[in-house]
A and B are shown apart, each in its own frame.
Chain A
Amino acid sequence: MIFRPAVFLLAAALLSIGDDATALDQASVKRGYAEGPYGFVHYYEAKPETAGASVPLILFHENPTSGRGYSEILSYLGTKRRAIAIDMPGYGRSDPPPGPVSYEEYAVAIMTALRNAGIGSEQKIDVLGHHGGALLATEFAVRFPTQVRRVILSGIPYRLAETKTIEPSNRNEKPEDSEAWFDALWARAFSAKPDSVSADDIASIVVETMLPMQRRWYASATAPAYDLPANLRRIRQPVLVLLMHESLYENSKRALTEMPTARALEAPEARSFGYIDAAAPLAKTIAAFLDSPTP
């Protein structure tokens, strides 16, 4: 359980082996539904043809997108382990809660759905979360300490309010506001598009982000109430922090102060759409961490 109390900054050593990584096998990614307390939870899943001994990995997306953004990396991770990227309730193709709910409630709802997707209470799992998904991964680790084995966090929105003006979430948003949302989202997504990410991938993210309609603010409205610093301190499992070179790089680095035993890896190749255009090298790094022997 105890990692060396130092922060590893292995700049790009593992992550830059891009060419080699293209030779990696890829599993097919399928979609499915599992029942949860708010209705169906939709998920993307890849797994090896024969069930191996590897612990399943659950991936949590940033808001207000969906698990679809993990399709590429699932295909790599799924060659050795069951890898499931869920759509948070109310996002992607998952049914919404009746109103905004806390991250604690989201975690409980998702765990119920995972049980119905065949993840038994005795089954160990690993969790990965990016941005808002990092809150869910943290909550999973703290709430289900015996079931969650290892934790991977990236883009940690640590003390976000101190570094960035958080747009007030629009609680009065109406369905008809979706058109303005589409235009703004489209412009923002394409202005941030690196050459390495296809227009199809960006458009697909925009479409996914349209699906929550006027409920897209639910998760972002409840995120500030989640005591991330305290919960990061409560994590007892081995943690890997991927320092991706994107908007929450500095926040993620600062979050490490709460987790002195966490391992941190610089991931300069992984920028804003890192899980898409750096999927292969990230999958290698993630698998190496998950498969490493318990120290």
Chain B
Amino acid sequence: MGMVLILSGTAGGIFAWISEEKKCADTLYEWRQFYIRAYYAMEMEHVPIVDFLREYPAKIPAMQQWIQVFVHALLQNTFVNGEEAFLWSFEQTKELWNMTPDCKEVIIHSAKGLFGMNLEENLTHIKCAQSAIEECIKEQKIAFVKKKKLVIPVTMFGAVMIIICLL
């Protein structure tokens, strides 16, 4: 019975860790999707930012929450420029974002991409942000594989050792 409990606890721990990593990956994929859609909406449809955000089909709760706060901030017409509203709303929802400081930095810099003086400037910024996020995704994947190689055997080994010791 004790053996079963220890092994299932270990498996649960590994599962929780993988879920957390997946959440982080989902967040980055969501932002990548966001940039792709923003690029298309700006280049082809010339959609105002608020309309784009209102129709954006956010999949993760953090994005949904941020969009809500951001749209509200924009409609208030109290921020001197959109970049400030972006940063303010991102700050308001910072606890919800499951990502590394580097990725956060990329997103903060991308604020310029949505509120540049002209379309070309915006598109260039968005493209850069998209590339940077893709780079983050790649790095995260590599890190995850490395961690997985270490974490799973070590945890399992630890669990087996505990069982042996208890026996």
A and B interact physically: no
Q: B: which residues have CB within 8 A of A?
A: none
Interface residues of A (CB under 8 A from B): none
